[in-house]
Every structure is written in C-alpha cells, then in structure tokens.
C-alpha cells in the first residue's frame, strides 16, 4: 500500500492557498492598496484553474495510459454548455425579449416552444449533473467502440480530433438549439447570486480551486494504486498485459470516462467565469493547445499538467496583448524547446518522481474477476 506523501498534498495546498490569498487580497484590502487584487485578476485566475482541470484530465489518459486525445476540448465544452443552459434559464424575463420560457436567441429565431433537451436546466443540480453525465456518456460510447476495436496510437488521436470537429460543426447550426455561432451569453445569476458581483467571482474562484484539488487527489489515488500500475503497464506494454490475462480495453475505458467527467466539470466552472460559451470551444486547436500544456508542464505527473496549463496561459495572456503577432510562434517555440531540452516537462526541475514500469504490474492471478 502506497502511503500519502508530501507530493500528494502539496499541489492542492498550493492551489487552495493561492486562491485564498487572491480572494483575501480582493476582499480585505482597499482598492488604493498596492496589494489589492482586482476582480479581473480573480476571474483570470479562475479561468486558468479551469484550464488546469482540463489539463489534469488529459494527463490522466495521456500520461498514464498512453491515449493521446486530440478531442478533450469536446468534453470540456459539453460541460460548459450544460452550465450555460442553466445560466440562460436563470435570465428569465430580464432578457432582451423578456420571455421567461424561451432564451433570447430562440425568440429571435422564432422558436415557439422549448426543446425537450432543455427541460430540467432551470435547476442548478440538474445542470451540474448533466455537466458530468453528458461528457461521461459520450466518452463511454466513443471509448467502448474505439477500444473494443483496438484502435490506438495516431489513429485514435485522429478519431478524437474528428469527434470534436464534428461537434463544433453541429453546434454552429442554429437549428440545434444551442445559440448557433453566437453561443450562450449575457448571463445574470447563478444559484441566486448576481454573477458579476465581486463576491460571486471570489466564490467561483474558490470553488474551482477546491474542485481542482479534489480532482488531483482522486487522480493521484487512481494512479498510485494497484489499478494505476496496470494502467501504466497498458501504456508501456499493452500486448504483454493482455497476455497476462488482463483486458486493457476495460481499463482504458474506465480512465477515459473518468477523464471526460473531470473535463466536463472543468467546463462547467469555466463558463460562469468567462461569461460565454460558443462552438469555438470545440475547436480542435483547443485540444492541441491542452496537449501542449501537459507536455510543457510534465506528462505523467498530474501536478506538471496543472503547472503547464497555468504558465502557458499566463504567457498567452501577455503575448496576445503585448505582441499578438508573436504568440503562435512563441507557443510553437515553447513546445519544441521543451521537447528538446526538457522532455519530462518543467515539473521535473522541481522534483524527481520515480516511474513505474510494466514489469511492476500485479500478477495475473491477483487480478479482479
């Protein structure tokens, strides 16, 4: 049995501590104080932590099972749309058209009744549940078909990219009932709190930090357990693992679905903080960018993926405002330089984590029935 170590609790403590400091700097200090944190910085930090959740979810399947998913933005966006649908229903009569039953974009498009798949989204609990179940269900169906057919490697990566691209095209259509090209926006409240109030923004940051910490602990529990050794064995020697009596496709499917659910919650936390969700979130480029976060931070480390997401997006924020024409070149150069000189990611500079090899998989006779 692997006992919890400092490395287990350090990242959650750092995330929660950092988020708490930002909130205190915003609430306790006057705007004239040099230590005051603006609400813009609080919202930006919440956005970065939501991206860190997506990076954590991707590292779980890529770093520990070897599944390079180029479509994880789809699960993130589906969770975001689930929360966006709830926020649209919360607008009620305060929209442009003042229709308590139909969102503004449906009134504009001359819809006469609410589609059946919008039912229930006036309840926060239902929307939160859908943010988990919808990405999980899609991952379950997609993963079952792909892994049962033993699709792997670059072929699986291309299929996942095709999945998110197909969803992007579908959500761009106005007749899908998700706002078309404009998406969902102009949100007002969330569970009774004014969305644009400073206190609500502070609460969303803390909620995102808390879930990121919980997700990290759950993911670390999985990868450091006996199950985690099997997952790494599947990554390093799938054929050998199968010959020992295991079914790699079952383990892949479990982690793929778990990862999709985590990404969906990340998307649900992302939308209230940025104030919009549109089909652009399904873009394959977003999934590729998430892969860069994980690679830069450190694949197969969990904490490295979180670190990479935050640092790369900090750089993106700076370069897209100061040097917008340079950003894409800087991102490409960062990925190349990391691959050449830090193949194990930035996190390896701070800590050396022992790796688990395929030779350490449990004996076949000990596997669960």
H or E stretch covering 55: helix 39-65
The answer to whether residue 189 sits within a structural domain is yes
Q: Domain limits at 106?
A: 10-283
Residue 303's contacts (CB-CB under 8 Å, 6 or more residues apart) are: 7, 10, 11, 216, 297, 347
Give yes or no for a contact between 18 and 41, defined as CB atoms under 8 angstroms apart.
no
Residue 232 is assigned to a structural domain of this protein: yes
pLDDT averaged over every residue in the chain = 90
Tell me which of 317 and 7 has the higher pLDDT: 317
pLDDT per residue over 163-184, tens digit each? Answer: 999 999 999 999 999 999 999 9
267-313: pLDDT as tens digits: 999 999 999 999 999 999 999 999 999 999 999 999 999 999 999 99
Residue 369 has pLDDT above 60, yes or no: no
Q: How confident is the model at residue 351 (pLDDT cuts 50, 70, 90)?
A: low
Query: Would you say residue 288 lies in a domain?
Result: no
Q: State the pLDDT at residue 323.
A: 82
Please indicate, yes or no, if residue 350 is contained in any of the structural domains.
no
Least confident stretch, 143-147, 313-317, 321-325: 321-325
CB-count burial class (<10 Å; 0-12, 13-18, 19+) for 363: exposed
Confidence of residue 2 (pLDDT cuts 50, 70, 90): very low
Which pLDDT belongs to residue 34?
86
| Two structure tokens written together for 277 | 């969700």
User: What pLDDT sits at residue 3?
Assistant: 53
The answer to whether position 325 is within a domain reads no
Tokens of 235: 């990554």
Residue 7, pLDDT score? 66
Rounded to whole angstroms, the maximal C-alpha distance in the chain is: 67
Instruction: Flag whether 326 is in a domain.
Output: no
Q: Is the pLDDT of residue 326 over 80?
A: yes
In a domain, 52, yes or no: yes
Those residues whose C-beta lies under 8 Å from the C-beta of residue 205, and which sit 6 or more positions away, are 19, 22, 23, 42, 43, 45, 46, 49, 273
pLDDT in tens, 15-34: 999 999 999 999 988 888 88
Q: Residue 5 has what pLDDT?
A: 59
pLDDT of residue 29: 87
- Asked whether residue 4 carries a pLDDT value surpassing 60, the answer given is no
User: Three-state SS for 186?
Assistant: coil
Query: Is 360 inside a domain boundary?
Result: no
Round to whole Å and give the CA distance between 316 and 324.
9
Instruction: Indicate the number of domains in the chain.
Output: 1
Write the DSSP string, 303-341: HHHHHHHHHHHHHHHHHHHH-TTTHHHHHHHHHHHHHHH
What is the share, in percent, of the chain residues with pLDDT greater than 70? 93
pLDDT tens digits, 62-100: 999 999 999 999 999 999 999 999 999 999 888 888 888
């Amino acid at each position: 049995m692997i006992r919890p170590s400092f490395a287990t609790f350090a990242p959650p403590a750092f995330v929660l501590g950092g988020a708490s400091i930002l909130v205190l700097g915003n609430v306790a200090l006057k705007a004239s104080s040099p230590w005051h944190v603006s609400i813009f910085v609080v919202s930006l930090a919440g956005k970065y932590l939501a991206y860190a959740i997506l990076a954590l979810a991707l590292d779980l399947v890529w770093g520990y099972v070897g599944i390079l998913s180029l479509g994880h933005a789809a699960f993130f966006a589906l969770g975001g749309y689930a929360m966006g649908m709830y926020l649209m229903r919360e607008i009620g009569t305060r929209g442009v058209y003042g229709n308590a039953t139909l969102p503004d974009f449906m009134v504009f498009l001359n819809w006469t009744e609410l589609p059946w798949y919008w039912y229930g989204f006036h309840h926060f609990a239902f929307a939160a549940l859908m943010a988990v179940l919808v990405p999980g269900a899609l991952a379950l169906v997609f993963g079952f078909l792909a892994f049962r057919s033993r699709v792997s490697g670059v072929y699986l990566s291309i299929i996942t990219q095709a999945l998110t691209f197909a969803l992007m095209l579908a959500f761009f259509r106005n007749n899908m009932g998700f706002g078309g090209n404009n998406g969902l926006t102009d949100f007002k409240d969330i569970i009774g709190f004014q969305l644009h109030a400073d206190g609500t923004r502070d609460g969303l940051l803390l909620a995102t930090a808390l879930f990121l910490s919980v997700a990290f602990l759950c993911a670390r529990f999985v990868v450091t357990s006996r199950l985690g050794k099997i997952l790494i064995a599947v990554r390093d020697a799938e054929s050998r693992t199968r010959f020992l009596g295991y079914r790699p496709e079952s383990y892949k499917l479990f982690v793929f679905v778990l990862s999709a659910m985590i990404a969906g919650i990340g998307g649900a936390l992302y939308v209230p903080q940025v104030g919009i969700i549109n089909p652009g979130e399904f873009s394959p480029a977003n999934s590729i960018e998430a892969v860069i976060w994980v690679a830069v931070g450190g694949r197969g480390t969990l904490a490295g993926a979180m670190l990479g997401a935050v640092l790369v997006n900090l750089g993106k924020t700076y370069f897209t405002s100061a040097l917008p024409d340079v950003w894409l070149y800087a991102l490409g150069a960062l990925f190349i330089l990391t691959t050449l000189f830090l193949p194990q990611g930035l996190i390896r500079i701070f800590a050396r984590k022992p790796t688990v090899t395929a030779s350490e998989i449990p004996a076949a006779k000990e596997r669960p029935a």
